Amino acid sequence: MIDPRLHTLRVLRSHGTVTAAAIALHLTPSTVSHQLKQLACETGLPLLEPQGRRVRLTEAAELLLEHADVLFAQWERAQAELETLTAGRSGAIRVCGLSSTISAFIAPAVKRLREAEPGVQMHLAAVESDEAFRMLESGEADIAVISPTDLTPAPSDRRFEQEFLIDDVEDLLVPAGHPFAERKSVRLAEAADETWVSMPSCADQEQLFLHATAAAGFAPRIQHRADTYFCASGLVCTGFGVTLYSRLVPIPVEHEVARVPIHGDPVPTRRLFTAVRRGSANRPAIARGLTAIRKEALEGAWTRRNPSAA
């Protein structure tokens, strides 16, 4: 219904290179290049300029994309109305989100939805928040659960609708036997002299960690780096430092650590949001997916495990 070359240009805007856009669209780089050259010829204006290994959108391309974003949002609304006529009980829902949210409440929500509506196919993917937005725009995902970072689109971005979901409070994770382990709570500033384990591959977690420690008045002494909460807990368990730990994430039973709540200011907290393509929230299957995720996030097993996190 809409020139597919406009979709290619939108995906290129998100991914920055022809190769990355081609991978997201399941096309060859030569096909992507050919589509964009055709589009440039029809507009009579250059759309791309080389910028190192990446490409930069020209003023003409940015203008074209302003109109494309409106067209795609309207097409999502049209699909929502069409699907209402058939009750939206078939097709597929593709959900992506941070790995901690997938295990804590997205997978349980989608499981119940699949049991209630066996005709709807479900697809899940654990990704970082910036990649989640790229998946939404390329059509690889319909619903994302994200935590805003410096790398993610602003709430006002015309391509997406973002809605607050829950606050995920974080605690200080320390080894069993640590002086803080028996405390009911600590101030973050009290851990200023500790050795820290960070998670730089998790952009939202790393940004929260650095902002929180700066607000508490100290620069953390980072000596070890983990790529998952399980790895971070393992490092803490074996005495390599302390870390911030999401209440969404259970502590592995084999790890002898203590989760200590943080009081005062700041209390490190990840703000989690749902995100969809603008205009798509009323598509019946997507609307039911959003409702199921919200219900599980607010009432699911993880809140019973960590009642103070609700």
Q: Compute the mean pLDDT over every residue in the chain, rounded to the nearest whole number.
A: 90
pLDDT at position 241: 97
102-119 tens-digit pLDDT? 999 999 999 998 888 877
Considering the domain delimited by 89-166+271-309, tell me its CATH architecture: 3-Layer(aba) Sandwich (3.40)
Provide the CATH topology of domain 168-270.
D-Maltodextrin-Binding Protein; domain 2 (3.40.190)
Token digits for 152?
A: 């993610």
Averaged pLDDT for residues 212-221? 97
Query: What is the rounded average pLDDT of the residues 188-217?
Result: 96
Indicate the range of 29-33, 74-78, 100-104 predicted with least confidence: 74-78
CA distance 207 to 98: 14
Q: Would the pLDDT of 80 be above 90?
A: no
Q: Where are the domains of the chain?
A: 4-71, 89-166+271-309, 168-270
- pLDDT at position 84 over 80: no
pLDDT, one tens digit per residue, over 238-286 is 999 999 999 999 999 999 999 999 999 999 999 999 999 998 998 888 9
Q: Which pLDDT band, with edges at 50, 70 and 90, does 290 fall under?
A: very high
Predicted confidence band of residue 309 (pLDDT cuts 50, 70, 90): very low
pLDDT at 306: 62
Over 50: is that where the pLDDT of 193 sits? yes
**pLDDT number for residue 304:** 63
H helical segments located in the chain: 4-15, 18-25, 29-43, 59-85, 99-101, 107-116, 129-138, 203-215, 229-237, 284-299, 301-305
Q: Do domains 89-166+271-309 and 168-270 have the same CATH topology?
A: yes
* CATH number for region 4-71: 1.10.10.10
Average pLDDT over residues 129-158: 93
**pLDDT higher than 80, residue 162:** yes
What's residue 194's pLDDT? 97
CA distance 256 to 258: 7
Residue by residue, DSSP assigns 224-282 as EE-SSHHHHHHHHHTTS-BEEEETTSPPPTT--EEEE-EESS---EEEEEEEEETT-TT
